[in-house]
Amino acid sequence: MANLTDLVNLNLSECTNMIIAEYIWVGGSGIDLRSKARTVKGPITDASQLPKWNYDGSSTGQAPGEDSEVILYPQAIFKDPFRRGDNILVMCDCYTPQGQPIPTNKRHNAAKIFNHPAVAAEVPWYGIEQEYTLLQKDVNWPLGWPVGGYPGPQGPYYCAAGADKAFGRDIVDAHYKACLYSGINISGINGEVMPGQWEFQVGPSVGISASDEIWVARYILERITEVAGVVLSLDPKPIMGDWNGAGAHTNFSTKSMREAGGYEVIKKAIEKLAIRHAEHIAAYGEGNERRLTGHHETADINTFKWGVANRGASIRVGRDTEKEGKGYFEDRRPASNMDPYVVTAMIAETTLLWKP
């Protein structure tokens, strides 16, 4: 007699050429992820082979009840680490039945920017450092912290090992391997300064693919924490006081920056970012004012400054970039709950298309 685990792990390829496609989209809050599955004929090797689908937008805060249909357009596919086999995860964006992007569809505008000839010619690379906090279910308090109390002060936890310093490593490692399995360009993980907080990095990835990968990596992490009975938080300052916040530092380079003389190109790009500082801050995540205080490795939210190897700056340039005269820079302002479509496209638009 088969048990539940046997049935969950059934190998469908032994009996059918049909596969399961899990359609994923960003919900009405702009940070929540929704998904549902459908059966399609496999194998699927490109998102263009998949049909559009629909869902009830009135139940996600994305459409009124009297006209609730929202259409899902498949945009990127990944191997499904949960069902495995030929089954896939599908990153979608959302449109009205008339084909207009709905307000929470930030991918549509990002795609227009990345398809602009001046942007595409520069082959923009992104490396996104996604910080997050694991919370104990029901009490919404960081994993490993005494309920209602606090651990010892920051210092021993960053990149640490040990049962009294690293909390949730099994979740982190499961996520790391699941992302690699899926085809996400995940490049590393580490424990963060605040206990219960971790980071994974995606990239370098070109153009809009970096954002597709971050969203699907977030989805996979949500699913793994669901199994583990732990809550994922992308709040940029989950615990007030003398504790580090959570960001999504975004590393960026263009073809011109990566070539000889690129350091001068980087400095000109930073000058543009300085002029549009307020606009970028407004688009870099909710609650970021609680994180960007000028303390805990941040620049004050109202102040723009850049520097070499300065983790208290808005924009940090690495020592290697300065020494070699080419490379990349890191925008340290985005919050952990930022929309990567918005942030990556805005950096490209400001540095490559915008004229002061």
Whether 174 and 181 have beta carbons less than 8 Å apart is answered as: no
Alpha carbon distances (Å) from 261 to 255, 266, 267, 282, 317? 11, 9, 11, 32, 15
pLDDT confidence of residue 12: 87
Work out the average pLDDT over 244-261: 97
In the three-class reduction of DSSP (H, G, I as helix; E, B as strand; rest coil), residue 115 is classed as helix
Question: What pLDDT is stored for residue 290 in this prediction?
Answer: 96
Q: What is the pLDDT of residue 4?
A: 92
Run of H or E including 222: helix 209-228
* Residue with the larger pLDDT of the pair 15 and 124: 124
**Does the pLDDT of residue 85 top 90, yes or no?**
yes
Q: Is the per-residue pLDDT at 356 higher than 90?
A: no
| Cα separation of the two ends of the chain | 70
Q: pLDDT digit string (tens) for 118-171?
A: 999 999 999 999 999 999 999 999 999 999 899 999 999 999 999 999 999 999
Average pLDDT over residues 34-40: 98
pLDDT of residue 14: 86
Mean pLDDT rounded to a whole number for the chain = 96
Question: Residues with Cβ < 8 Å from 50, sequence gap 6 or more?
Answer: 21, 40, 44, 74, 77, 90
> Which tokens belong to 219?
């989805």
Sequence letter at residue 334: P
* Counts of helices then strands in the chain (DSSP H, E): 10, 14
The pLDDT, as a whole number, for residue 165 is: 96
| Calpha distance 156→24 (Å, rounded) | 38
Query: Is 0.85 topped by the overall pTM?
Result: yes
pLDDT tens string 296-316: 889 999 999 999 988 889 999
Contact present, 151 and 212 (Cβ < 8 Å): no
Neighbour tally for 36: CB within 10 Å: 12
Burial of residue 337 (CB within 10 Å: 0-12, 13-18, 19+) is buried
Q: How far from the centroid of its chain's Cα atoms is residue 315's Cα?
A: 19
Section 6-10 average pLDDT:
90
Helix, strand, coil tally for the chain in percent (to 5):
30, 25, 40
188-204 pLDDT, tens digit per residue, is 999 999 999 999 999 99
